Structure 1
């Protein structure tokens, strides 16, 4: 994707981040993940550093994908989430993130799995808040969605606990008081973390304290204005939010 198109796409998405109003690009779509990542980088440079990165993998593609979750967004400092203009609900996913105890540097692009995992110091219960900046058919187009931070609108972080090699593949979680037995959607999330550390190293690194999250244990729950969402993980603590209307 040519540099001018990357900038145009980035500026269009940036305007949607700032106004909360969805946009429908009238330009060629990204042609590759490299194009989508270039657009991500353009937007992130304007918004500031990422508080977290989300990692996933499509069912029909062995190559993972990654997207930043910026500090600015629809999540308030008190953990409540503000509905963007025109939105009636927000998607919420309960997840476990891993917090970096050491920074990722460009020299780490070839580290082995054990060395990559040694960079993490804490497990963090969290809620990812989903909201696309895209309108129309582009909201479902995979590469536009990736350019748009994989539809991430923000993250609510719970209290971290020390990482001592706990099993993350299978956990028990209470969602709004309802008990669920949950398995990680990708089986072994540690392999995704290994890939993500090396990917971020190639993109310039990530500072100490950044959280990497690898997928929902509970699927997406739609939460409307005035409604609360709370997840309590066995062994990993709890995290909660409330969705509120603008102006509250």
Structure 2
């Protein structure tokens, strides 16, 4: 009876507090931070047992190795959630006009996904600042601050969640970039896997960070009558954040193209 009673109390606590609408944003942010910590520990444990090159790394490089496990897990989870809401879910469908304007729609699942992403940005930004500049320079801090603020605003205000989810699939490029770093640090820069990875980065970046952004801007343009009624801060974020990220994406894409061309030239 004691175990059954404890189970009932635990279920009631989860349902009425942790997953209740007023607390869900905060719970999801904490879940994102917890998952980041878990991903770091799992990456560290797995690598120390199964990857020989891990032992040869300096302590700083080991931390970066483990940290990339965090960003890889976040990228996979949030990309799947985002792609579902953008292309498959009917939450933001124009056919559901009775639910109100698209820019003001949200759901418990959409809130939870954004909260997990905010938790990740907080955890990763903390590590970047703590070990600055080992895990990234000022551009990474700028990227995380800009993205974190935009996602957090969309989470707590309920505004423009569709457009936030249109930007988040850009994280799909993160696993490929992390794999490239893993291959490089493991001395496999001349391997066939490294070349295939370079092509994968090019295609993923072109699709998720160039073409999808163009689609987002087109979507905003065709539904500007809805965007314009948003709160001023949310209205600005819909334009400022994607434009700023687009500029950074184009700059990085130029470097990716140059790097891929050099790799292909060396193999001819």
What TM-score, normalized to structure 2?
0.28
State the structure with bigger RCO (CA 8 A, min sep 6), 1 or 2: 1
Question: Which structure's residues are more often strand, by fraction?
Answer: 1
What TM-score, normalized to structure 1?
0.29
